[in-house]
Amino acid sequence: MLKGLLYLSILLICSLTTINGRCHKKKQIVSISSGTSFGKCIGYCRRSINITSNPYQLLAIKEPNYPQPSYPNVEQQNSYSSQQWNQLVSLVDLKQFRLLNETIGCPDCADGGAEWIQIDWPDINKKVTFEYGQSIENFEQFINQLKQLREQYANNL
């Protein structure tokens, strides 16, 4: 009984989650990405951010769906602190995130747009795509924070 409690305590303290049978700590997350896209669109139809933990930085990107000379890809590196990173990671329950379906709802149906979130670990990633402007139950704060970052950085390129 004592061994079981000790093991459970260690798991909780380390904030471990399992993906495909492998354990991953929150501190091992390599990057968190988020973006939007619209399928039937001319111009800058895709906007995304990629936040990395080593080094801490935020890359903002806007790009067209296909090569268009009037709309070249635009990227900008931005600083991102370890404090900001820790705050962002604290907003997501990794165990619940890994249980989400890869597609939720009908993203970009009738050109309504799509949003996506991807979390990368050193040896695996998990991407979830959902309808633009919608949220996912129990992930509202995480999605809102990523949306604010996209609006702040990617939409203003």
pLDDT tens-digit map of 8-64 = 344 444 444 444 444 445 559 999 999 999 988 889 999 999 999 999 999 999 999
Residue 23 covered by a domain: yes
Strand 56-63, strand 103-104: pairing? unpaired
Residue 12 covered by a domain: no
- Integer CA distances (angstroms), 96 to 1, 87, 117, 118, in order: 27, 18, 14, 14
Residue 10 covered by a domain: no
Amino acid at 35: G
- Predicted pLDDT of residue 7: 43
| Cα 117-123-124 angle, rounded to 5 deg | 30
Tokens of 31: 């990057």
pLDDT tens-digit map of 61-75 = 999 988 899 999 999
Distance CA 62, CA 76 (A): 9
Domain count, the chain: 1
Strand 103-104, strand 124-131: pairing? parallel
pLDDT tens-digit map of 95-111 = 999 999 999 999 999 88
- Name the residue range of residue 38's domain: 18-154
Tell whether the model's pLDDT for residue 3 goes beyond 80: no
73 C-beta neighbours (distance < 10 Å), count: 12
Residue 7 covered by a domain: no
Look up the CATH number of the domain holding residue 63. Answer: 3.30.1560
**Structure pTM?**
0.82
- Predicted pLDDT of residue 9: 41
Residue 108 covered by a domain: yes
